[in-house]
């Protein structure tokens, strides 16, 4: 597993993506703290991830239902 900072990712994007394509796992860091991971996807995993992602999106959208009230209607005009 390789740790890569944001600056290094920006400067060596092609090299890092090739490493991921070959199967290496990369942890992205910002100011030394991990915040994301990159790993190669297999063809059979893509559909499952899309389905899971749609479920997450639906849950995430409902998290903002509290914002639907008369007091906040001013934001509809912005």
pLDDT of residue 19: 95
pLDDT tens profile 28-78: 999 999 989 998 888 777 777 777 766 555 555 555 565 565 655 655 554
Residue 21: inside a domain:
yes
Global pTM value: 0.58
Residue 26: inside a domain:
yes
Residue 6: inside a domain:
yes
pLDDT tens profile 4-35: 999 999 999 999 999 999 999 999 999 999 98
Which value, in Å, is the radius of gyration of the alpha carbons in the chain?
A: 19
Residue 12: inside a domain:
yes
What is the pairing mode between strands 2-5 and 33-38?
Answer: unpaired
Range of the domain at 63: 2-67
Specify the number of domains making up the chain. Answer: 1
Residue 78: inside a domain:
no
CATH number of residue 26's parent domain: 3.40.1620.10
Residue 72: inside a domain:
no
């Amino acid at each position: 597993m390789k740790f890569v900072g944001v600056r290094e990712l920006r400067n060596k994007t092609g090299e890092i993506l090739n490493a991921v394509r070959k199967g290496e796992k990369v942890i992205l860091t910002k100011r030394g703290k991990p915040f994301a991971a990159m790993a190669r996807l297999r063809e059979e995993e893509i559909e499952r991830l899309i389905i899971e992602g749609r479920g997450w999106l639906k849950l995430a959208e409902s998290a903002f239902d509290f914002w639907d009230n008369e007091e906040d209607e001013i934001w509809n005009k912005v």
